[in-house]
Amino acid sequence: MIAPSSDEFYLQMMSAINDGLECLQSFERWSRHDDMTKYINVLEEWDDKVAPDTELADSKYLNPQDLIDPADSTSYRNMVKELFDQTLYDTGMYIEQNYERYLRIFW
């Protein structure tokens, strides 16, 4: 049996991806940064401003989860899980077909 299992590997990969998304929250929104206020205030009404038709988040920091559709996130996670499962299966089959006799001799 190959270790770690597909489930363990998947959980660790998802944990790493979530950690990465949390790290992105350390970036401040330029439109909410205090140093940018004087530049935003001089824009004319017809000038493009950040998210004129949408509600601005209360946070000064980016949250990528706000931008990711939950359905897309679920679809992505399912796709990654299927790829891990298939890859682990293929790897196991390859080892079994090509190295089983050597593994039986030495183990």
What's the chain look like in SS3?
CCCCCHHHHHHHHHHHHHHHHHHHCCCECHHHCHHHHHHHHCCCCCCCCCCCCCCCCCCCECCHHHHCCHHHHHHHHHHHHHHHHHHHHHHHHHHHHHHHHHHHHHC
pLDDT at 67: 75
pTM of the full predicted structure? Answer: 0.54
Q: Give the chain's residues under pLDDT 50.
A: none
**In whole numbers, what is the pLDDT of the chain averaged over residues?**
76
- What is the rounded distance in angstroms from the CA atom of residue 107 to the CA atom of residue 97? 16
